[in-house]
Structure 1
């Protein structure tokens, strides 16, 4: 069953301006070390950050909170499987919220997809509850 759906569209040029103006302060407030390492390996760092920004926004919407109710930016983090597929990890308040949303006898699976076409970065998040075997 679907527990939540979220989407977000981020402007890569806007994220670049924020990076230019606030640099490490912005990165350290919003992105985990894993996310920053991924961006640092990419030629299009702003695009990489914009996709992850959009994913965090989309995840907060799928959790039904937006960026309110105590969620921290770093409570939601995008990593990649060896195949390149993005995955969303939640900690802190986001993890607590996810647990409250998940019906007994089910496990929550967070699906995330990212795309960009300059100047836009987009993310969709679907939270699914699967019955435990």
Structure 2
């Protein structure tokens, strides 16, 4: 059973491939917002992965963050997620990212627990 309080952290060193200029989400060589979102989602996935059964997975359905400070290439970033609410299959996380100097992003993230096979069948059926 998935319970409030589960948490995880992911750390990276910012590379060129993580920048806004690389992602196309801006023209600057600093950590991109899409990459921050990816790190936060990854931390949430990591927090609950050992609690899911063999036929379950989770999918992101909402993320609301403030990206409040830039991080240059070469600096470490730590993203964390803490499960703060469980409502049936809906999971709500508080997410945070910080570099070596300061908090760079914060917000909330929602995920839903789904049956992996049914989810993929639904996705693949769109191609028919």
TM-score of the superposition, structure 1-length normalised? Answer: 0.38
TM-score between both structures, scaled by the size of structure 2:
0.39
Larger radius of gyration: 2
Q: Which has the higher contact order (CA 8 A, sep 6+)?
A: 1
